[in-house]
Structure formats: structure tokens, C-alpha cells
Amino acid sequence: MDNEFVFAFAFVPTLLFVVVVAPLWILMHYRSKNRTQGALSEEERAELERLTELADRMGERVETLEAILDAETPDWRKRQADA
């Protein structure tokens, strides 16, 4: 009878931990981990804004160069497509 009491005393809390606490713990851990990884830091956000500005400026330069080529050599697009 004494062994059954010790077994029940150890088994029931262990079972409750494995069935209830551990899954909730794991779920909450990975949920919070995913939230922190999804956000950009201030440094990353600033770098992204800087790169966006550079890409916009490069796009404007390409448009300007295409306009110059259109004015000086109107059929440059056709020649480029044929090549």
C-alpha cells in the first residue's frame, strides 16, 4: 500500500505536467519567439529605408537614361530585343 501511495504521489503530478503544462509551455515559447523574430530592429528598419531610397534613385536614373536613348537613338529598344 505504501508503494502505491508513492507511485500515485509521483505519477499524478508528472502526468499533469506532461499533459497540460508542457504543451502550453512549448506553445507559448514558440509563439513569443516568432513574434520577436518577425519584427525589424531600428537599425534594420533604417537600413531598409536607405536601400529603398537608393533603389528609387536608381530607377529614376534608368528612366532618364532610357529617355536620352529614346531621343538620340529611337530604335535602340528594337535592336536590343532582336539581339
Instruction: Based on DSSP, count helices (H) and strands (E) in the chain, helices before strands.
Output: 4, 0
Residues 20 and 56 in one domain: no
Place of cell 518577425: 38
Range of the domain at 58: 41-83
Residues 63 and 75 in one domain: yes
Quick check: 5 pLDDT over 80? no
pLDDT digits (tens, 9 = 90+) for 47-78: 999 999 999 999 999 999 999 999 999 888 88
pTM, two decimals, is 0.50
Place of cell 499533459: 19
Residue closest to 24 by CA, chosen among 13, 32, 36: 32
Residues 1 and 34 in one domain: yes
Quick check: 83 pLDDT over 70? no
pLDDT digits (tens, 9 = 90+) for 13-50: 888 888 989 999 999 998 888 777 777 788 988 999 99
Residues 1 and 32 in one domain: yes
Alpha-carbon gap, residue 38 to 24, rounded angstroms? 21
Residues 24 and 54 in one domain: no
